[in-house]
Amino acid sequence: MQIITTAREMQQACRTLKKSRTLGLVPTMGALHDGHLSLVRRALTECDVVAVSIFVNPTQFAPGEDYEVYPRCFEDDCAKLEAAGTALLFAPSAEEMYPADATTFVEVAGLGDRLDGASRPGHFRGVATVVAKLFNIVGPDRAYFGQKDAAQVAVLRAMIRYLNFPVQLVACPIVREPDGLAMSSRNRNLCASDRGRALILHRALYGVAKLIEEGETSAEALRNTMLAVFASEPNVRVDYAEIVDPSTLLRVADTSWGALIAVAAWVGSTRLIDNMLTDNLRVDNLVLEQPFMEAMHA
């Protein structure tokens, strides 16, 4: 695996590779887990070569958010990527990506202000900007993103369409821990008791999934169910619990035509997100381990 830290060198390396091969890109912020690696594995099945980026992007963090304490473990990440078959790793510094005179940003108005964009003003402006830069640096045929960040997928799909990026966005299923918690680099920052409490996000989604399978389609009823589940864990603060159209991120009244059920909550000082698509109820591995299911229904 070749490790590259400057945009210019990365652009050259990718241009050379792309002459004869298809190129997949997996953008990440590092502290890699199996969710990230599932994107790399998927990319390897669909592209000749795979490039991964590791960049903790300062512009997507608001002042006071967890930029400084975001987990960083570069050596470990390199070993995992190399073992997974990554050809190129792009790991630029913040100065390399944002020179002092950088004043150009990408903003997906409307969509970028919904869900996480509403709770974290400026977040999706930072995401769209860095991903647009990565697209220009790498020039991938396909780019792989996790459905875990469902609002990000919607924002980036819109950006690709509006700005005519010649890239196909591939959204990959959420990878979970055996007890249902969605894998996240931020899970590393949870203390043992918060790790237990964090399961409430999954439990809220699971409650909704069960209701939908029983035939409930009213978004209001489903939302109330989620809020009731969250209320049972007073140490977790809900940021949002929404039922929206997966493309527009606007609320729907009824889930009959498919919906995104999305939650965000503060567990201690860590903000976690999770979601499910109603279309994927059976395949979006919301299946729980038996002991956990028994505990839930006790």
Active site members:
36
Structure tokens at 90: 């792009």
Residue with smaller CB distance to ligand AMP, 135 or 145:
145
What is d(CA 74, CA 94) in angstroms, rounded to the nearest whole number? 15
| Contact status: 182 vs ligand AMP (CB under 6 A) | yes
**246 interacts with ligand AMP by CB under 6 A:** no
User: Regarding beta strands 49-54 and 88-90, do their DSSP bridges make them parallel or antiparallel, or are they unpaired?
Assistant: parallel
Cβ 95 to ligand AMP shortest distance, Å: 20
| Contact stretch for ligand AMP (CB under 6 A) within 161-169, 178-186, 202-210, 256-264 | 178-186
One-letter identity of residue 256: S
Question: Binding residues for ligand AMP, how many (CB under 6 A)?
Answer: 17
Give the shortest CB-145-to-ligand AMP separation in angstroms: 4
What is the smallest separation between the CB atom of 196 and ligand AMP, expressed in angstroms?
A: 18
Q: How far is the CB of 33 from ligand AMP (least distance, A)?
A: 7
> Which residues, 6+ apart, have CB-to-CB distance to 27 below 8 Å?
52, 53, 55, 130, 131, 134, 143, 145
Q: Which one among 14, 17, 37, 39 touches ligand AMP, defined by CB under 6 A? A: 39
Q: What is the DSSP letter of 58?
A: G
Residue 199 phi/psi, 5-degree rounding, is: -65, -15
Give the separation between CA 165 and CA 108, rounded to whole angstroms: 14
Rounded to 10°, the helix 74-84/34-46 angle is 30
Pairing of strands 23-28, 142-146: parallel
Q: Near ligand AMP by CB under 6 A, which window of 4-12, 81-89, 145-153, 258-266?
A: 145-153
Given CA atoms 201, 203, 206, 212 in this order, what sign does their dihedral have? negative
> Contacting ligand AMP (CB under 6 A), which of 117, 146, 180, 246?
146
Q: Is 36 in the site for ligand AMP (CB under 6 A)?
A: yes
Among 41-49, 76-84, 118-126, 143-151, the segment contacting ligand AMP (CB under 6 A): 143-151
Q: Which residues bind ligand AMP (CB under 6 A)?
A: 28-29, 35-36, 38-39, 145-146, 148-149, 172, 174-175, 182-185
